[in-house]
Amino acid sequence: MENYTFTAVDRFLRYVRIDTQSDPQSTTNPSTEKQKDLSRLLVQELLEMGVTDAEMDEWGYVYATIPATTDKANVPTICFCSHVDTSPDVTGAGVKPIIHERWNGDDISLPDRVNPADPAQVIQVADHPDLLNQIGNDIITASGTTLLGADNKAGVAEIMDAAHYLLTHPGVKHGRIRLLFTPDEEVGRGTEKVDIQKLDADFGYTIDGESLGTLEDETFSADAVRIQIQGVSTHPGFAKGKLENALKIAADLLASLPKEALSPETTDEKDGFVHPTRLEGNQDQAVLEFIIRDFTEAGLHEKETYLQNQLNDVLVSYPGSKADFVVKQQYRNMKEVLDLHPAVVDNALEAIRRAGLSARRRSIRGGTDGSRLSFMGLPCPNIFAGEHAFHSRQEWVSVQDMQKAVEVIVNVARVWEERA
């Protein structure tokens, strides 16, 4: 891509200013209508590039095609996918991106505060070891009051730039390419309304990873647990020997969980966890929600059984109360599918190496749209986008990493054509 003027950063700076935060409590598709604001812009930009079939469906999904430039008839159709929504954990409204040019290696202090009395947000190198690889590069952050939105607008911008490159360089040989931009990935519903027949691709790649040169081909398997507690309610003035407070039952269950294990804050590598995410209610009824994570299905079931047993033990002290324990499958480890299709990983690793990078396979302590897409018939590992410190006000990405991701996407298209 020598002498090419990249457009990814300019696109990214536009996209992050659009608030696309999703909502886990919403029952609509998409969970927030504002996600469509970015989807509509992407369609407009793709049409202006010359992508004639770019469209957004009623659910906010964007589909588009880059036609093949090869004469080979047997080149698989490849899909590149990123999500437009940002995390519900931190606001994405009023993002003010800052480019720290030729970063010198010092901690990065962000200028804005949520409240004037708050300390400044400081991105400390000691807490972000990947920054040590960025000295001299241009680092993009938010201003301190919002997340940045690099998860996953960096990936969106990189796919859009790669599309621009391929459309303006028809001499690059590649097969048919499909683009997919999804809403609601951050609330676990990113593939809920994907039309896999309409997508019509053989293999896919999400562009939603972290460190330069990484390819993630293994994810958590994931379930959600919802516990609805029915206590025994009565007037507190006449409650002696009668009241069984649903909130206290929920609190006892939370207190029964181990403090030094089985939680996100005490685990790493291949360890799974049991993580409470929501509690609401009153003395009569309470709802507790958990996410359960492990790299194996057996590990998931073991943790769910543990949580059920803890609940049963707590209820012994509340004989008039009861609880419903409902498990909902969220996604499964993509490695189960990807191991059946080694070319989808091998070709991506080759594309990363051709960009002059050291290609590294990683497991991710999380999931991507690719986890579900893989089990829907589209084997789909995850390529780095350069995003770091996800879901926080200290989120950052480097200009140079974004440009390398664009190069890798183009290389993936080339490699599939060459090896067909």
Catalytic residue IDs: 85, 185
The 10 Å Cβ neighbour count of residue 141 is: 24
Q: β-strands 139-141, 396-398: how paired?
A: antiparallel
Query: Distances from the Cα of 214 to the Cαs of 73, 288, 338, in angstroms?
Result: 31, 36, 16
Helix (H) or strand (E) holding 322: strand 322-331
Question: How does strand 322-331 pair with strand 221-230?
Answer: antiparallel
Asked whether the CA dihedral 398, 157, 85, 267 is positive or negative, the reply is negative
In the three-class reduction of DSSP (H, G, I as helix; E, B as strand; rest coil), residue 369 is classed as helix
Tokens of 259: 């403090």
Are 321 and 231 in contact by the 8 Å Cβ rule? The answer is yes
Residue 200, SS3? coil
Residues 264 and 115: their CA atoms lie apart, in Å, by 28
> Is 228 in contact with 263 (CB distance < 8 Å)?
no
- List C-alpha distances in Å: 41 to 44, 250, 356: 5, 45, 33
Strands 55-56 and 122-123: unpaired
End-to-end CA gap in the chain: 22
Q: How many CB atoms lie within 10 A of CB 238?
A: 9
| Helices 8-15, 399-419: inter-axial angle, 10-degree rounding | 120
Query: Which helix (DSSP H) or strand (DSSP E) does residue 230 occupy?
Result: strand 221-230
Task: Report which of 66, 51, 64, 69 is spatially closest to residue 174, judged by C-alpha positions.
Answer: 69
Give the helix/strand (H/E) hosting 274: strand 273-281
The dihedral formed by the CA atoms of 309, 310, 311 and 312, expressed in degrees to the nearest 10 = 50
Task: Point out which residues pair with 388 in neighbouring strands.
Answer: 396
